[in-house]
A and B are shown apart, each in its own frame.
Chain A
């Protein structure tokens, strides 16, 4: 958490993504045109969010058995950091949708379910704020989080595939993986995902460290 090398690695990967993602060649596809490059910027936001929410659910489970306050703080701060990436993903998705589907928000199943899964995590934060007693708060919110996580996975990856979604990879629409994620795009897409996951994890560690200092000062 305090080491520097992975922070530098994340920074380098993200900067590489911005350069290579804009300059390297991409498949020429109708409607998508150059917006296919959004794969390098919009999709990694969701990957970073899912990784952060996975960290959160891991520490929620851990805090139930360890009853440690640190695990509880880790769980809430990774949700806090993950939500930022989720909101960025929603906004970039809406902008992309305006120029490919014609509207910012066309109530596409993928968009709706993504918004609902963000709301699930807003509910988690509100639930936490509603309970004053610390141990009760840790326990109830950990259990809520354990239920919210599979809900989020189902909302993002299962339900949009069953409905008629316009989003690539859903509702009969081929995903980027199947026909146009060629080797050129993979060379940018995978580093982009790793880079943004590292940056997301970094933001989470900063939040966690600030929170634990605040916590220590409160107890003193």
Chain B
């Protein structure tokens, strides 16, 4: 298990080596300036918030199911 995990990690590390550059305009400068991380952070916060909300709905639903004696 550990071996597979490490080889996966190493595989991921080598992926970057295949990056090609054929002169097409990409957001490289935006990423190197670090500001893309702001956007990533916002998206992650929104996703985490929504998913936490889903979990809380799930929890409330479980409580109601218990009150209504609905089996699993």
Binding site for B on A (CB under 8 A): 1-2, 7, 11, 14-15, 18-19, 22-30, 33-34, 182-184, 187, 199, 202-203, 206, 209-210, 212-213, 216-217
* CB closest chain-B residue, reference A24: B15
- Which of B18, B44, B68 sits near A15, CB closer than 8 Å? B44
Q: Contact: A29 with B55, CB < 8 Å?
A: no
Given contacts A18-B47, A217-B68, contact A210 B61 (CB under 8 A): yes
* CB closest chain-B residue, reference A205: B58
Q: Contact: A7 with B58, CB < 8 Å?
A: yes
The prevalent SS among residues of A at the interface is helix
Q: What are the residues of chain A within 8 A of B72 when measuring CB–CB?
A: 1-2
Within 8 A of A (CB), among B43-72: 43-44, 47-48, 51, 54-55, 57-58, 61-62, 64-65, 68, 70, 72
> Within the assembled complex, what's the spacing in Å between the Cα atoms of A34 and B27?
7
The prevalent SS among residues of B at the interface is helix
Distance of A44 from chain B, by nearest CB (Å): 13
Distance of A128 from chain B, by nearest CB (Å): 23
- Which of A2, A22, A202, A209 sits near B39, CB closer than 8 Å? A22
Q: What are the residues of chain A within 8 A of B12 when measuring CB–CB?
A: 187
Q: Contact: A33 with B25, CB < 8 Å?
A: yes
Given contacts A7-B55, A28-B26, contact A22 B40 (CB under 8 A): yes
